[in-house]
Amino acid sequence: MNGAIRVEALKLTHSLVGAIATVAVVAGLLALLGGITAGVAGGNPDLIAKAGPAGVIGWDGLLAGATQIASVACVLGFGFVLSWMFGREFAEGTITGLFALPISRSRIAFAKLTVYALWAVLVCIALVIGVVVLGLAFGYGSPDPGTWASLGRLFLLATLSAGIAIPVAWVATAARSLLAAVGAVIALVVIAQIGALAGAGGWLPLAAPALWAMSNGAAVAPAQLGLTLAVPLVFAALTCGAWSRLQLDR
């Protein structure tokens, strides 16, 4: 099992997909925050109106903007990496070689998910550290307890986003298609947005983390947020089960 994890870790760390996704999520979010802050500081009325809570100079505005961006960027970035990790085996035909390995395919799938989880947590940590460094560079001063609490919610939002992207791995396996997995990533974001607009966000695991973080925990009850934890657990089990039943002729 350790060998499978090492192999999957090498695949991810030596791939452009992992590197690009990491830069896109972390550096992309920081670049957008910098642009929003510059526009607000410059007194751009249109940008200030569109930014909403993020249109305030200070830690509150910075974290509001980071939360809004991360709610979408993390699902997209993490989902695309999962699409590659699972879908490439079918797209490139390397899945056939896995049948010859002295390890069950369900364990290979579990190794992929383990490496993905470790990478996602590191990206989430880097994201939060980047926001802290950006705030300090803007001269907002040392974070107070309320700011640290908001940073904690940002971290949890990012990690929960990594979890709700795991259905993509199951779609890639069930459809045996990289493109289907990419389509699933987009579908997750669309469903979350529609659910939030329809008022079902609190009970919709795909939207609950973002609503919880953006409302400082007021708009989503703990029980509703807890449903989000079921998504990665259920779909990780479904994915490993699907890999255990894979056949060469299908």
Residue 249 lies in a domain: no
Give the domain extent around 9. Answer: 2-244
Residue 250 lies in a domain: no
> What is the reported pLDDT for 127?
94
Residue 155 lies in a domain: yes
Closest C-alpha to 79, from 195, 182, 207: 182
Instruction: Mean pLDDT check: name the lowest of 46-60, 96-110, 162-176.
Output: 46-60
3-state secondary structure the chain: CHHHHHHHHHHHHCCHHHHHHHHHHHHHHHHHHHHHHHHHHCCCHHHHHHHHHHCCCCHHHHHHHHHHHHHHHHHHHHHHHHHHHHHHHHHCCCHHHHCCCCCCHHHHHHHHHHHHHHHHHHHHHHHHHHHHHHHHHCCCCCCCHHHHHHHHHHHHHHHHHHHHCCHHHHHHHHHCCHHHHHHHHHHHHHHHHHHHHCCCHHHCCCCHHHHHHHCCCCCCCHHHHHHHHHHHHHHHHHHHHHHHCCCCCC
Q: What is the mean pLDDT of the chain?
A: 84
pLDDT digits (tens, 9 = 90+) for 226-244: 888 888 999 999 999 888 8
pTM: 0.88
Q: Which residue has the higher pLDDT, 31 or 95?
A: 31
> What is the reported pLDDT for 59?
85
Instruction: Mean pLDDT check: name the lowest of 133-147, 156-170, 206-220.
Output: 206-220
Q: Six-digit token pair at 109?
A: 């799938």
User: Quick check: 153 and 131 in contact, CB under 8 A?
Assistant: no
Tell me how many domains the chain contains.
Answer: 1
214 HSE (CA, 13 A, CB side) = 19
Residue 197 lies in a domain: yes
Residue 142 lies in a domain: yes
pLDDT tops 80 at residue 102: no
> What is the reported pLDDT for 212?
81
